[in-house]
């Protein structure tokens, strides 16, 4: 697909962009343009958005940067093999769909790629971190019906998150206060079967919420069968005066999958549903166990506190062979993550102008076993990696949000992070301490000016950081962290109650960017100074009482400004696997009280496969999807159509000798029936 084709799609709808304000909680929205609760308006909202997971409203919840909120009505209708796919609707977010069994997909924002080579996004579920030691975003345990909402924050101004939040954060809120029962059953192409059930009970101040989900299908491609199931339980008690709440959350998840492997270019075009012969032994499994304790309290009239304690175990085991010339590998990751988060919020009632202050501390520990073996037909031949990573991160932050004048709003903060730990190479018994990064300081500052009743302009700056992943985190030599300085300038325009436009330009400059080496060693390297910049345009338009349109268009570039003397020829080149632009368009319609539909598309431009930009560009596509729903009483029938035009799309990488291709799913038709009691 050409750049011109992709450019023309958003222009046809006169696109623009989303607002810079993030609401940590709000009342149910009557539509995407409900601005009654705030003069600056809500963030870019897809569907009915409501978060009641916390009785505390964080002062940093209204951030002067690009924010998207996705409501449950947009999430529960999704059919996804991998839960990260629900982010396909979010403006400025692209997914790399590996489609390789337990290695599913990863997320890309702000000109970073989703190859896993440069972790840059913090993922949280109900406030609990869900990044693996590699930085990989692990959302597999959460099914769409359990999701209450998603908040996506792009940029570097948010002081709440440090480690992994190089370019932003995704927060998933799950159902915790739901009462009643929901059941959704789905069946369709490729032997897809799915069942999701949600139940909630309330007795006085005690609430119980339970979820269970199961999904299996044979996959679009051969040798691509998956089977997964999850169970979650949440038990919370709220005091009679509602000044405090305490609760426990538990979640179990199991996932098994075959992997179809990668095809040559000619083989992928000739038969995209085929599996590579050499990948017949590929596949694996993953198990998750997560437990967390949550407590919220109103300590005084204008002082609140929130505390979380968590324990998360992930075991991922797989066999993979990348090409006919490569040997089969067995890869094992056994990780334990645990930690605590404490934050306090103060809204001083005696202040002369609106003022909110927040402070917090976070401690996170990882014990990660990372092993690799060379195998033949799943029988071990030799050990190629046997590392145990011990990593501890402590972060503290302070933030303020004030409005000294009716037309002026100021935000800022300061975060500091430190790291400790060691690596044991179990192959030879050596112990290597973590690199002494010292204290990593991250200042944040933003301002918003309302120039008229319809228009506001904002600007923000924030510093984020990146350290090495895997064995690159450990060395006896000192090494400064890679520092990312991010800036954003945006304008929000609300000409009518039904229309919201926003445009934003952004830039992130990194020093000594760290990227995972492609040699399988688990080590990382500095690729030099990089610059990422772009333009985001979004629109939310209630065209009619029965129809609304949302759309987004993102243009971005990611360049090697100074790669260093060893690869000087790459100076000025585009970083690999970063599309120049992406587009998202959706139309939600309600034809009657019972009949409704959603039609939406997402697409992106092609990308380079390596930093030398010499292997061609691949990966451009536009995929169109639709949902039709018919409801009566407490029952809903649904028809879910994916990739309606049967567009060929693929993930492509280069192994140094050839391009390797993983075709995406073709046209898919699924039927659903839902019950609500």
**pLDDT tens digit sequence for 655-676:** 989 999 999 999 999 999 999 9
In the prediction, which pLDDT does 1 show? 45
Confidence of residue 677 (pLDDT cuts 50, 70, 90): confident
Q: Which domains does the chain have, with CATH numbers?
A: 3-676 (2.40.170.20)
The distance in angstroms from the start CA to the end CA of the chain is: 46
CA distances from 301 to 247, 298, 350, 400, 510 (A): 22, 7, 11, 19, 43
Residue 570: φ, ψ to 5°? -90, 0
CA distances from 306 to 54, 61, 358, 407 (A): 9, 14, 11, 31
Q: Single out the residue of 274, 262, 235, 320 nearest to residue 98, CA to CA.
A: 262
In the prediction, which pLDDT does 139 show? 93
In the numeric block, the tokens 């990751």 are attached to 333
Q: How, if at all, do strands 303-320 and 328-346 pair?
A: antiparallel
Tell whether the model's pLDDT for residue 654 goes beyond 90.
Answer: yes
Lowest mean pLDDT among 86-95, 222-231, 514-523: 514-523
The answer to whether the beta carbons of residues 648 and 665 sit under 8 Å apart is no
- Angle among Cα 425, 429, 430 to the nearest 5 degrees reads 65
Confidence of residue 242 (pLDDT cuts 50, 70, 90): confident
Task: Retrieve residue 240's tokens.
Answer: 């009679």
Tell whether the model's pLDDT for residue 81 goes beyond 60.
Answer: yes
What is the 3-state secondary structure of 447-463?
EEEECCCCEEEEEEEEE
User: What gap in Å lies between CA 321 and CA 660, rounded to an integer?
Assistant: 12
Share of the chain above pLDDT 90, in %: 74
For the chain, the average pLDDT equals 88
Q: What is the CA radius of gyration of the chain?
A: 24
In the prediction, which pLDDT does 201 show? 97
User: Looking at residues 509-522, what average pLDDT do you find?
Assistant: 76
639: left (phi over 0), alpha (psi -120 to 50) or beta: beta
Tell whether the model's pLDDT for residue 257 goes beyond 90.
Answer: yes
In the prediction, which pLDDT does 340 show? 98
User: Looking at residues 215-223, what average pLDDT do you find?
Assistant: 97
**pLDDT tens digit sequence for 348-402:** 887 788 899 999 999 999 999 999 999 999 999 999 999 999 999 999 999 999 9
Please give the residue that has the higher pLDDT: either 34 or 495.
Answer: 495
- 280-310 b/e (C-beta count within 10 Å ≥ 16 → b): bbbbbbbbbbbbbebebbbeeeeebbbebbb
Q: Single out the residue of 449, 474, 470 nearest to residue 459, CA to CA.
A: 449
User: What gap in Å lies between CA 175 and CA 209, rounded to an integer?
Assistant: 7
Q: How, if at all, do strands 168-174 and 121-125 pair?
A: parallel
Q: How, if at all, do strands 66-71 and 44-46 pair?
A: parallel
Tell whether the model's pLDDT for residue 44 goes beyond 80.
Answer: no
| Residues sharing a CB contact under 8 Å with residue 622, sequence separation 6 or more, in sequence order | 1, 5, 6, 9, 583, 601, 602, 603, 647
Q: Model-level pTM greater than 0.85? A: yes
**pLDDT tens digit sequence for 419-468:** 999 999 999 999 999 999 999 999 999 999 999 999 999 999 999 999 98
């Amino acid at each position: 697909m050409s750049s011109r084709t992709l450019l023309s799609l958003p222009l046809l709808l006169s696109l623009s962009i989303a607002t810079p304000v993030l609401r940590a909680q709000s009342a149910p929205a009557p539509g995407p343009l409900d601005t009654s609760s705030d003069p600056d308006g809500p963030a870019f909202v897809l569907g009915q958005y409501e978060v009641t997971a916390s009785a505390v409203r964080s002062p940093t919840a209204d951030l002067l940067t690009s924010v998207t909120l996705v409501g449950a009505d947009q999430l529960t209708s999704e059919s996804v093999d991998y839960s990260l796919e629900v982010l396909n609707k979010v403006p400025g977010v692209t997914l790399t769909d590996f489609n390789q069994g337990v290695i599913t997909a990863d997320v890309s924002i702000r000109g970073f790629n989703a190859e896993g080579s440069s972790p840059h996004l913090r993922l949280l579920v109900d406030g609990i971190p869900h990044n693996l030691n590699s930085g990989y975003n692990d959302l597999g345990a959460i099914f769409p019906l359990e999701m209450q909402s998603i908040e996506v924050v792009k940029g570097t101004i948010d002081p709440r998150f440090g480690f992994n939040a190089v370019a932003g954060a995704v927060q998933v809120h799950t159902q915790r206060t739901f009462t009643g029962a929901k059941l959704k059953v789905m069946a369709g192409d490729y032997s897809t079967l799915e069942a999701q059930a949600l139940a909630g009970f309330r007795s006085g101040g005690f609430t119980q919420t339970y979820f269970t989900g199961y999904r299996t299908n044979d996959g679009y491609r051969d040798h691509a069968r998956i089977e997964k199931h999850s169970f979650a339980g949440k038990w919370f008690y709220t005091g009679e005066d509602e000044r405090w709440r305490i609760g426990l959350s538990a979640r179990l998840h199991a996932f098994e999958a075959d992997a179809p492997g990668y095809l040559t270019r000619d083989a992928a075009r000739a038969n995209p549903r085929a599996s590579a012969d050499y990948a017949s032994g590929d596949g694996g499994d993953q198990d998750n166990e997560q437990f967390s304790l949550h407590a919220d309290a109103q300590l005084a009239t204008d002082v609140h506190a929130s505390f979380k304690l968590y324990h998360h175990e992930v075991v991922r085991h797989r066999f993979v062979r990348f090409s006919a010339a490569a040997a089969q590998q067995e890869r094992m990751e056994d990780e334990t993550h645990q930690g605590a988060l404490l934050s306090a919020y103060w809204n001083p009632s005696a202040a002369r102008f609106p003022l909110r202050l927040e402070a917090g501390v976070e401690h996170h520990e990882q014990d990660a076993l990372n092993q690799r073996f060379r195998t033949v037909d799943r029988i071990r031949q030799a050990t190629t990696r046997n590392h145990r990573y011990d990593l501890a991160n402590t972060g503290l932050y302070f933030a303020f949000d004030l409005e000294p004048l009716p037309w002026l709003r100021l935000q800022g903060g300061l975060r500091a992070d430190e790291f400790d730990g060691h690596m044991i190479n179990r192959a030879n018994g050596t112990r290597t301490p973590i690199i002494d990064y010292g204290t990593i300081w991250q200042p944040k500052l933003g301002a918003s000016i309302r120039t008229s009743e319809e228009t506001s302009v904002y600007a923000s700056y924030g510093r984020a950081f990146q350290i090495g992943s895997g064995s690159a985190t450990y060395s006896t030599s000192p090494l400064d962290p890679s520092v990312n300085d991010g800036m954003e300038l945006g304008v929000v325009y609300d000409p009518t109650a039904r229309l919201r436009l926003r445009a934003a330009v952004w830039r992130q400059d990194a020093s000594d960017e760290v990227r995972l080496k492609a040699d399988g060693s688990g080590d990382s390297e500095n690729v030099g100074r990089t610059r990422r910049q772009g333009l985001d345009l979004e629109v939310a338009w209630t065209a009619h009482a029965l129809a609304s349109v949302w759309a987004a268009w993102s243009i971005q570039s990611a360049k090697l400004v100074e790669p260093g003397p060893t690869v000087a020829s790459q100076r000025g080149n585009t970083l690999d696997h970063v599309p120049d632009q992406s587009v998202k368009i959706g139309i939600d319609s309600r034809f009657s009280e019972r009949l409704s539909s959603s039609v939406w598309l997402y697409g992106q431009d092609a990308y380079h496969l390596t930093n030398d930009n010499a292997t061609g560009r691949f990966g451009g596509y536009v995929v169109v999807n639709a949902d039709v729903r018919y409801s009566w009483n407490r029952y809903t029938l649904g028809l879910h159509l994916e990739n309606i035009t049967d567009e060929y799309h693929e993930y492509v990488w280069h192994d140094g000798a050839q391009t390797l291709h993983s075709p995406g799913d073709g046209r898919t038709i699924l039927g659903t029936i839902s019950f609500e009691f």
